[in-house]
Each structure stands twice: as C-alpha cells, then as structure tokens.
Amino acid sequence: MKKCIIIGGGAAGMYAAVFAAAGGLDVSLWEKNEKLGKKLFITGKGRCNLTNNCETEALFQNVMTNSKFLYSAFYQHNSQDVMKFFESEGLWLKTERGNRVFPESDKSSDVIRTLERKLKQSGVKVDLNRKAEKLIVEDGICTGVVDSKGNVEKADFVIMASGGCSYPSTGASEDGYRMAETVGHSIVAPRPSLVPMETVEDWCRELMGLSLRNVSVVLKKGKKKLYEDFGEMLFTHFGVSGPLILSGSAHCGKLKDFQDVVLTIDLKPALSAEQLDDRILRIFDGNKNKQFRNTLGGLLPNKLIPVIVRLSEIDPYKQVNLISREERLRLGYLLKHLDIHIRGFRGFNEAIITGGGIKVKEVNPKTMESKILKNLYFAGEILDVDALTGGFNLQIAWSTAWLAAKNILEVMEDEL
Ligand SMILES: Cc1cc2nc3c(=O)[nH]c(=O)nc-3n(C[C@H](O)[C@H](O)[C@H](O)COP(=O)(O)OP(=O)(O)OC[C@H]3O[C@@H](n4cnc5c(N)ncnc54)[C@H](O)[C@@H]3O)c2cc1C
C-alpha cells in the first residue's frame, strides 16, 4: 500500500486526508497541536462560514491573489461539491446573506467533528503533537518527513497543508514556508490580510466601539484608487476595522508603504451633495436658536457628533441661524469626505488570512504537485493565494486539498 504523509491537521489537511484514504492510500496526518482544526474552530465567529453557495465564476472574482492558479481546483471541486460532501456526511447546512454557507447548528465544532469521524472511518492515522521539521529528499524526489524529535518517516507522497501565519495561537507559523524553502521553493513574503488598520488621527480612538452601517468608503494611495465599497465599519482603540476595512486590506496586496494612504468615508452615501445640503438647511431652520453642537442628533450617531463638530471648524456654541453658507457647505463636504490617514495594518495576530506563501509558479495548478520536487504537494493557505471573506478562503483549502488527493490517487493507479 502506498503511503502519504499530510503535514497539518487544519481544513486542507483533514479534507485531503479523507479523500486520499478513501481512495486506498495509507495516510498519516501530522498535527503539531494537541487537537485537529484549531483555526477551523474559530472561523466565522465560531459558526464556520465553510463555503459560498455561488457559481464557480464568482469564486474566482472573490480571490484577490493568483485566482487563475485555482482554475482546475475550483472547476473540479466547487462549493456545490463541498456542500454535497458535508451533507452526505450528515452535516446539515444553511445559506445566509451573501450566499455564505454555515452548518445549520451554527457550530464550527460540528464541521470538525464531521471531518474527524470521516478520518476515523477511512482509517487515517492521526498523529497529534507531531511537528514536521524537515522534508526528506532523495534523487530529486520527496520521500518522507522528519519530525521535531528527529524521527524519520518514509512516504511515497507528502502533502504540505501547514497553513499561513495568521492567528499564531491556532498553531499558525512559518514552519511550512521554511521547510519548502529548504528544498528549493521560493516564498512570496507573508503579509497580514483581511486585517484591521491603524490610523494616524487620534479622534478615531475617541470613537472606539462605534459601528457605522451603510457608509461607503474609498481607499486611495495618493491619487490611485485601491478599493471602494459600501457597507459596515467599526472604530477601535487603534483605528478602524469591520467588514469594509478587512476587505479593503485584501485589496492592498501590492502596497509597498503606507505613505499617503487615505480612507475617505462617505457618511451619507444615499444623498447627493445638494440633497445633503437641503437636509442640513432644514435641520438648521428647525433649530434656529440652538447652538450648532446640539443640532446634529438626527443626522449622526451621538458619539460621532463632537468629532464632526470639531473637524468642521464651526464654533460649537454658535447659534445655527448665524452659520454662514460657506460653513454649512463645509459641513456637508465633511460628512461626505471624512478623511482618515492609514498608518499601517495590524499584525498576524489579528489577520484573518496570510497573503503571500509558496510561489504558485512553482506548483502545478492542475495537480498541486511541486514543480521543484516530485511527490511533494501543497494545499490551502500555505500557497500564495488569498480571498475575501464569505467562505472563499475555506473553499480554497477544500478545493486545493481535494485536487492534491485526487492527483496522488491517479499517480498511484498509473503506477500499479
Ligand atoms: C478568526 C478567523 C476566522 C476565519 N473565518 C473564516 C470563515 O468563516 N470562512 C472562511 O472561508 N475562512 C475563514 N478564515 C480563514 C480560514 O480559517 C483559513 O483560510 C483556513 O483555515 C486555511 O486552512 P489550512 O488548512 O490551509 O490552514 P490551517 O487551518 O491554519 O491549518 C494548518 C494546520 O497545520 C498545522 N501545522 C503548522 N505547522 C505544522 C508543522 N510543522 N507540523 C505539523 N502541523 C503543523 C497547524 O497547527 C494547523 O492546525 C478565518 C480565519 C481566522 C483566523
């Protein structure tokens, strides 16, 4: 019986192990943690958004880096295949807003349990607390793995599914990159992605906890537009976060530095500048004798009012009937162009995914096999691919894992 070692008991490693073992391979799954799927457990805020119930074309549109590399993986094993697999294993799924798919139970632990049960049924040998240290290479072929205790284990095939480096508390580290580099692979420098941003302006910190719904944002470096979208964002003790900001970070993969990177928030995207001015006029007309600082309640969340009053440079104690047209227009402009300078991204501790990783030019996209070392395969976040939120990153893990397992089984059959 041919043997396969899979490094990493996360989403990609478990999925690859299930399919490889079901096809007749003797599979050993090495996980350095004391249990499988630590990261999977925290996905989707503990609910696990395991894929996106969309057309295959839409999967590509949501991949930010190297989407073409995933052509075979997505076309041969798409989100419908993933859903079919889990439902056939008794995990009932539901589709929510934005086609996001979750277990009906809302429990990521049920996804892990389903995979664990299948691993057991398929006879996969799960090696917990076993850390891979080095790949064994003989005559340009990968022939096994050495663990951190120096134990040598030979194998006909090795799949590296050791993930990226975000959320180190789940076991994520640069282990996989270093092992692959040692056998000749190039690594695209890892960077945090789907990550909150730190801001220069102190007033952002004053707004900590404030969530803005239905705003639109534009992220620019100098004059170059990097990202534009509509939705929800959040102020934090260091700057900004929330869905719009995380997605914005994923569009900045090629950014070299943060000089002149500005986030502009339109607080009233449903109103044109003229409509907003009319609205402000009406508010001022209805509050003629009130001080400016006491008139914005119907327009803005309470927490934001002192900040906007300050940034507008209008005297907060001025009676609104004394506010000039110029001042009023300045206020309207501010509400549609609230600029925030970005200092940088937060680190891997807070990044949902890692951008960068194994250079995909050195991996066969039809098989996931290394072009540098025969019988070595890659799957999941270790590769230089990353996607937006919505279940797309896990779909990458499932699809690439399935493709690696399928190809290994085909190679095995050819050799028989
Ligand atoms: C907070 C958070 C929420 C997320 N939510 C979602 C979501 O809802 N939907 C979605 O699509 N994506 C989500 N993601 C992203 C998703 O979790 C990853 O894309 C996915 O887990 C990648 O799978 P993987 O198997 O490649 O890596 P991982 O799941 O990270 O698994 C890699 C495994 O390899 C092990 N390992 C590492 N080095 C070694 C070694 N040397 N020897 C042995 N084992 C090793 C690690 O301990 C780890 O268990 C989220 C990520 C985070 C951090």
* Confidence bin at 413 (pLDDT 50/70/90): confident
| Whether the Cβ atoms of residue 115 and residue 124 lie closer than 8 Å to each other | no
Nearest CA to ligand 1 atom 47: 171
Nearest CA to ligand 1 atom 10: 391
Ligand 1 contact via 176 beta carbon (within 6 Å):
yes
pLDDT of 117 above 80: yes
Ligand 1 contact via 167 beta carbon (within 6 Å):
yes
Task: Using the mean position of ligand 1's atoms as its centre, give its distance from the Cα of residue 142 in Å.
Answer: 24
CA distance 107 to 102: 8
Task: Using the mean position of ligand 1's atoms as its centre, give its distance from the Cα of residue 288 in Å.
Answer: 58
Task: Using the mean position of ligand 1's atoms as its centre, give its distance from the Cα of residue 163 in Å.
Answer: 5
* Confidence bin at 412 (pLDDT 50/70/90): confident
Q: In this structure, what DSSP letter does residue 89 have? A: T
Q: What's the pLDDT score for residue 256?
A: 86
Q: What's the pLDDT score for residue 415?
A: 80
| Whether the Cβ atoms of residue 121 and residue 106 lie closer than 8 Å to each other | no
Task: Using the mean position of ligand 1's atoms as its centre, give its distance from the Cα of residue 170 in Å.
Answer: 8
Task: Using the mean position of ligand 1's atoms as its centre, give its distance from the Cα of residue 194 in Å.
Answer: 14
Ligand 1 contact via 196 beta carbon (within 6 Å):
no
CA distance 377 to 15: 14
The mean pLDDT value for 304-328 works out to: 96
Nearest CA to ligand 1 atom 6: 43
pLDDT of 253 above 90: no
pLDDT digits (tens, 9 = 90+) for 195-208: 999 999 999 999 99
Task: Indicate the range of 27-36, 177-186, 283-292, 388-397 predicted with least confidence.
Answer: 283-292
Task: Using the mean position of ligand 1's atoms as its centre, give its distance from the Cα of residue 42 in Å.
Answer: 9
DSSP letters for 325-385: HHHHHHHHHHHH-EEEEEEEE--GGG-SEEEEEE-GGGB-TTT-BBSSSBTEEE-GGGBS-
Nearest to 215 by CA among 321, 336, 311, 105: 336
Express as a percent the part of the chain with pLDDT over 90.
96
The mean pLDDT value for 294-307 works out to: 95
Ligand 1 contact via 10 beta carbon (within 6 Å):
yes
Nearest to 51 by CA among 202, 416, 319, 43: 43
Nearest CA to ligand 1 atom 19: 393
| 302-334 residues labelled b (16+ CB within 10 A) or e (exposed) | eebbebbbebbebeeeeebeebeeebbebbbeb
Nearest to 30 by CA among 12, 53, 8: 8
Ligand 1 contact via 398 beta carbon (within 6 Å):
no
Nearest atom within ligand 1 for CA of residue 14: 25
Q: What's the pLDDT score for residue 395?
A: 98
* Confidence bin at 230 (pLDDT 50/70/90): very high
- The strand pair at 152-154 and 157-160 is best described as unpaired
Task: Using the mean position of ligand 1's atoms as its centre, give its distance from the Cα of residue 40 in Å.
Answer: 6
Nearest atom within ligand 1 for CA of residue 15: 25
Q: What's the pLDDT score for residue 280?
A: 97
H helix or E strand, kind and range, residue 25: none
Task: Using the mean position of ligand 1's atoms as its centre, give its distance from the Cα of residue 61 in Å.
Answer: 22
Q: Which amino acid would we find at residue 388?
A: L
Report the alpha-carbon angle 63-200-191, nearest 5.
30
pLDDT digits (tens, 9 = 90+) for 358-395: 999 999 999 999 999 999 999 999 999 999 999 999 99
* Mean pLDDT across the chain: 96
| Whether the Cβ atoms of residue 10 and residue 3 lie closer than 8 Å to each other | no
β-pair partners for 34: none
Task: Using the mean position of ligand 1's atoms as its centre, give its distance from the Cα of residue 64 in Å.
Answer: 18
pLDDT of 416 above 80: no
Express as a percent the part of the chain with pLDDT over 70.
100
| Whether the Cβ atoms of residue 346 and residue 277 lie closer than 8 Å to each other | no
| Whether the Cβ atoms of residue 227 and residue 165 lie closer than 8 Å to each other | no
Ligand 1 contact via 290 beta carbon (within 6 Å):
no
Nearest atom within ligand 1 for CA of residue 396: 19
Task: Using the mean position of ligand 1's atoms as its centre, give its distance from the Cα of residue 12 in Å.
Answer: 8
CA distance 62 to 279: 37
Structural domains in the chain?
3-193+350-415 (3.50.50.60), 196-346 (1.10.8.100)
Ligand 1 contact via 32 beta carbon (within 6 Å):
yes
- Which residue is it, tokens 């990521």? 108
| Whether the Cβ atoms of residue 372 and residue 362 lie closer than 8 Å to each other | yes
Task: Using the mean position of ligand 1's atoms as its centre, give its distance from the Cα of residue 382 in Å.
Answer: 9
In what side-by-side order are the strands of the sheet with 3-7? 125-127, 26-30, 3-7, 157-160, 376-378
CA distance 65 to 70: 10
The mean pLDDT value for 275-291 works out to: 95
Ligand 1 contact via 43 beta carbon (within 6 Å):
yes
Ligand 1 contact via 399 beta carbon (within 6 Å):
no
What Å distances lie between residue 131 and 9, 19, 91, 171, 176, CA to CA? 11, 22, 30, 10, 10
For residue 113 the two structure tokens come to 């349990």
CA distance 299 to 305: 9
Nearest atom within ligand 1 for CA of residue 163: 27
Nearest atom within ligand 1 for CA of residue 39: 29
pLDDT digits (tens, 9 = 90+) for 162-214: 999 999 999 999 999 999 999 999 999 999 999 999 999 999 999 999 999 99
Nearest atom within ligand 1 for CA of residue 44: 8
Ligand 1 contact via 166 beta carbon (within 6 Å):
yes
